[in-house]
A and B are shown apart, each in its own frame.
Chain A
Amino acid sequence: MIKKLLVLVPLVFSLSLAETLTVLTHSSFALSKEVIASFEQQTGIKLRFVEGGDAGATLNKAILSKGAPIADVIYGIDNTFLSRALEAGILERYSTPQIAVVQSRFLLDPTLTALPVDYGYVALNYDKDFFKDKPLPGSWDDLARPEYARLLVVENPATSSPGLAFLLATVASLGEDGYLKFWEALRDGGVKVAPGWSEAYFAHFTRYGGDRPLVVSYTTSPAAEVYFSEGAYREPPTGNLLWPGASFLQVEFVGILKGTRHRAAAEKFIDWLLSGPVQEDIPLNMWVWPVRRDAALPDVFKFAERPLEPAELSPEAIAKNRERWIAEWEAVVVRGQSAQEVISRRK
């Protein structure tokens, strides 16, 4: 009897020791079941995911609970929020051995505290049916003309991450004054503003019964249209508009939250997230590219375009100005003030 108990004790003990790692993500995070199960089997660490809303809300929830962290690892900080995350001091540094295989242009945090996982591009999609016998806009100037502005639906940069990325592309391409004049022209031309990507794409885009054949989305969306048509489309029914500066690069990062009691497990999780099988699982789940150099891409990604000249803005410039840009955008597009009025108020 006692012997039996002695055998049971370590068994029970080991069960209770099965470590649980809590991962805070935004609500667009996704991986395959088998991939997650294989991590849990190999390491004996149980993964518990909690979702904090969109990318901005998720990061801010981590910042608000600094000191008593609600998770051990945070995934989904993007380059527009990178500086805020680093300045808030919520992350612990971790030099993963996997860093050697990551494409170096995505190492936007030189301290390697926030580690890149995947990247994608926000860009304009168009409905091929609609533009079958009509010319496409080919520049920012074209787009600002009323005949195109009234065909366009964008997301509100105040509440949507692709909306903000598109706003940043206009700032990077057209400059501090030029971008407001551009948005003023869009507003007068009748651009539609939706609260988020789902609303813009599924309620207002012509492919889904709306009246706007131009929508701010991702360069992978045409590929996803093919993949999620179950054979109905061989070619994408939508296309990307990629004049220089018309797209914006989004890189997503992972980091260990300061104060975690599972540091070793968190390190294992990050190494695993950057390992080949997980990186190759990312494209079809999240419709973004993996940062690993040697990751193979699924066949349908031949329809996903990587723009040669995306708009460029440093994380520091974004951190410093994002609130002002959003407020100025709101003043012009939502409150109907003139671009000149807003510009002259800056001084």
Chain B
Amino acid sequence: MRPSRLAALLVLAFLALALLWPLGLVIGRGFGYGLSAVLADPYLRGRLGWSLAFGASSSLLVVLFAVPLVYLMRYRFPGRDALVALSMVPFVLPTLVVATGMLAWAGPRGLLGLDLSGTPWILFWGSLLYNLGMTLRLVLGVLGGSGRLVEAARTLGAGSWRSFWRVELPLSAGALAAGAGLTFVYSFSSFGLPLILGGPRYATLEVAVYRALLERLAFGEAAALILVQTAVLVLVSLGYLYAQKRLAVRAGAPAPPPRLGGVRGWAALLLVAGFFALLYAPLGALVLRSFWGPEGFSLAGWAALARPQASYFAPSAGLATYNTLRFSLLALLVTAPLGFAYAYGVWKGVRGLDLLGFLPLLVSPVSLAVGYLLAYPGLRASLLLLATAYALLAYPLFARTVLAAMRRLPANLAEAARTLGAGPWRVLVRVELPLLRPALGAAAALAAAVTIGEFGATLVLARPEWATLTVAIYERLGKPGIVNYQEAMALSVLLGLLAAGVFWGLGRGGEVG
């Protein structure tokens, strides 16, 4: 069998078992409720409108900020990789922790001295905080392999601005579209920050699905909501997939991005670091908070991390860290082959696979959780299902990064190999895979972000002995008391550092190329 066919089959089989069948059971139970009831409800229409507006403006903002940053960050300069790694940290932190940081920075008694809470500005700030890093990573992952093209442009006399405008920006347009699309998907369907910072007026459709399914067992209403939500996201995704395909530019052989040395390098660092310091100030506020006790400075929260926990249900920092790393690795074992298969199948032109493989990001996690319960009661609370759930939400991100790189691969190399008698398998292993190495590193980092941030964990029943850092943070924040609060902040800092470390390590691997 041709490798592309096999890849498509693998993705289809996985999707059928992990997504379509469980989701079908949920929708099947609620069949016949009628979409009109949902669309006729002015409140739900309002929710839909708000979700759309928030998703679209978040996407726009992310692109607006990403372009000037890419202008500077397409060069290598001291500290660049560390900044990119840092920008991914909010992505993995629990929503409540990020909200706490936002309020500690720009809330009623925040360090900034300017109260933004209750205004849309704090929501948009939060959206940038979450999604800008992901978009930057996608774009820089693509540019990471295009150094030679830039070099060529320079040799031919193009200035810095001209080469950005004519070479790097067109090269990164696909990845920018990917970032904007993912930002929309996450902002549109998240439970998220708006709900904590802005109150229930900012509830998205996902909250309505949660209420209908898990609180009221109203399958009819839930099924209608799920269909509306999925339909909107499918439409948006079609647009974005089309854009990404159209915007992809084929480049030459990969080479590391040019280095910006001397004074200009330090100036670039200063500019980017200054902007990051402002944007990510809420994270700094979190670090301060972990040292903030009833009488000012206190180490009680950090000291509590080292203590064994008396309760069976309060995971120690050590166990939580171990579990976080263990599950991320476990998930990556499933995510990487699956994501690669999906990207490869789409690249080689298997019809319809593009949108189908993107589905996991488009369906509501709450409904999938219920679907798993109906489809696989015997597997509940099993490691197999946990790994599946993690991989399900991580592999599309992995694939988007790899696919963007695949589309830029020079066609003539593979053609040359084929003319010399190599079959598709041999071309894949000897030509294409080596060329994709940098993108694979970036993709793995993104997938790790999704798993460390645990979007998938809510899909399965939890076990106390599986508690990850996120679970440990929520456990501490489930009880009153200043030490619990400080410990939660300390755990959040630990989680942030761990994630930044993983991104940094994988990102560096990606740039060796």
**Complex contact A202–B100 (CB within 8 A):** yes
**Complex contact B199–A193 (CB within 8 A):** yes
Known contacts A31-B313, A50-B380; decide if A202 and B477 are in contact (CB<8 Å). Answer: yes
Q: Does A44 contact B (CB under 8 A)?
A: no
CA separation between A53 and B309, bound complex, in Å? 22
Chain B contacts of A126 at CB under 8 A? none
Chain B, Cβ-Cβ closest to A197:
B478
Please classify the interface of chain A as helix (H, G, I), strand (E, B), loop, or mixed, using the class held by over half of its residues: mixed
Which residues B342-400 have CB closer than 8 A to chain A?
370, 373-374, 377-378, 380-381
Q: Does B480 contact A (CB under 8 A)?
A: yes
The proximity string for B residues 109-128 relative to A, scoring 1 for CB distances below 8 Å and 0 otherwise, is 11000000100000000000
**Complex contact A203–B100 (CB within 8 A):** yes
Chain A residues engaging chain B, CB cutoff 8 angstroms = 24, 27-33, 36, 48-53, 56-57, 60-61, 63-65, 68-70, 156, 158-159, 192-195, 197-199, 201-204, 208-211, 217-218, 221, 224-225, 227-230, 232-233, 237, 285, 287, 323, 330, 333-335
**Complex contact B481–A224 (CB within 8 A):** yes
Q: Does B461 contact A (CB under 8 A)?
A: yes
CA separation between A36 and B110, bound complex, in Å? 43
Instruction: State the Cβ distance, A300 to closest chain B Cβ, in Å.
Output: 11
**Complex contact B107–A156 (CB within 8 A):** no
**Complex contact B214–A198 (CB within 8 A):** no
**Complex contact A229–B200 (CB within 8 A):** no
Instruction: State the Cβ distance, B458 to closest chain A Cβ, in Å.
Output: 8
Chain B residues engaging chain A, CB cutoff 8 angstroms = 43, 96, 99-100, 103-104, 107-110, 117, 191, 195-196, 199-201, 203, 207, 210-211, 214-217, 289, 293-295, 300, 309-314, 370, 373-374, 377-378, 380-381, 458, 461-464, 474-475, 477-485, 488
CA separation between A287 and B203, bound complex, in Å? 31
The 23 listed contacts between A and B (C-beta, < 8 Å) are A27-B478, A31-B312, A48-B463, A49-B463, A49-B464, A57-B214, A57-B215, A63-B217, A65-B373, A70-B377, A198-B474, A202-B488, A209-B100, A211-B107, A211-B108, A211-B117, A217-B480, A224-B480, A225-B480, A225-B482, A230-B300, A232-B293, A287-B480
Chain B contacts of A64 at CB under 8 A? 217, 370, 373-374
**Complex contact B480–A221 (CB within 8 A):** yes
CA separation between A218 and B481, bound complex, in Å? 13
**Complex contact A51–B462 (CB within 8 A):** yes
Which of B99, B203, B483 makes the CB contact (< 8 A) with A228?
A: B483
**Complex contact A228–B461 (CB within 8 A):** no
Which of B96, B289, B311, B381 makes the CB contact (< 8 A) with A198?
A: B96
Chain A contacts of B311 at CB under 8 A? 30-33, 285
**Complex contact B312–A229 (CB within 8 A):** no
**Complex contact B462–A193 (CB within 8 A):** no
**Complex contact B201–A334 (CB within 8 A):** yes
Chain A, Cβ-Cβ closest to B483:
A228
Which of B293, B370, B373, B488 makes the CB contact (< 8 A) with A70?
A: B373
Chain B, Cβ-Cβ closest to A217:
B480
**Complex contact B196–A203 (CB within 8 A):** yes
Chain A contacts of B458 at CB under 8 A? 53
CA separation between A56 and B215, bound complex, in Å? 6
CA separation between A131 and B201, bound complex, in Å? 30
Chain B contacts of A195 at CB under 8 A? 191, 195-196, 200
Known contacts A70-B461, A232-B294; decide if A199 and B99 are in contact (CB<8 Å). Answer: yes
CA separation between A61 and B295, bound complex, in Å? 44
**Complex contact A229–B481 (CB within 8 A):** yes
**Complex contact B215–A194 (CB within 8 A):** no
**Complex contact A211–B373 (CB within 8 A):** no
Among B309, B314, B482, B485, the one with the most A-chain Cβ atoms within 10 Å of its Cβ is: B482
Chain B contacts of A31 at CB under 8 A? 311-313
**Complex contact A70–B381 (CB within 8 A):** yes
CA separation between A267 and B38, bound complex, in Å? 46
Which of A24, A51, A192, A228 makes the CB contact (< 8 A) with B479?
A: A228
Chain A contacts of B289 at CB under 8 A? 209
Among A24, A33, A228, the one with the most B-chain Cβ atoms within 10 Å of its Cβ is: A228
Chain A contacts of B380 at CB under 8 A? 50, 65, 70
Given contacts A224-B480, A229-B483, 4 further A-B contacts (CB under 8 A): A50-B463, A158-B211, A195-B200, A203-B100
CA separation between A63 and B218, bound complex, in Å? 13
Instruction: State the Cβ distance, A164 to closest chain B Cβ, in Å.
Output: 10
CA separation between A204 and B204, bound complex, in Å? 21
**Complex contact A50–B461 (CB within 8 A):** yes
Known contacts A50-B462, A68-B377, A198-B478; decide if A230 and B483 are in contact (CB<8 Å). Answer: yes
**Complex contact A209–B104 (CB within 8 A):** yes
Known contacts A51-B462, A210-B108, A227-B481; decide if A156 and B200 are in contact (CB<8 Å). Answer: yes
Chain B, Cβ-Cβ closest to A202:
B477
CA separation between A165 and B314, bound complex, in Å? 26
Instruction: State the Cβ distance, B203 to closest chain A Cβ, in Å.
Output: 8
**Complex contact B485–A194 (CB within 8 A):** no
Chain A contacts of B216 at CB under 8 A? 323
Instruction: State the Cβ distance, B206 to closest chain A Cβ, in Å.
Output: 12
Chain B contacts of A192 at CB under 8 A? 199
CA separation between A323 and B217, bound complex, in Å? 11
Among B108, B211, B461, the one with the most A-chain Cβ atoms within 10 Å of its Cβ is: B461
**Complex contact A228–B310 (CB within 8 A):** no
Instruction: State the Cβ distance, B511 to closest chain A Cβ, in Å.
Output: 38
Chain A, Cβ-Cβ closest to B211:
A158
Which of B107, B214, B477, B485 makes the CB contact (< 8 A) with A53?
A: B214
Instruction: State the Cβ distance, A32 to closest chain B Cβ, in Å.
Output: 5
CA separation between A335 and B42, bound complex, in Å? 10
Chain B contacts of A53 at CB under 8 A? 214, 458
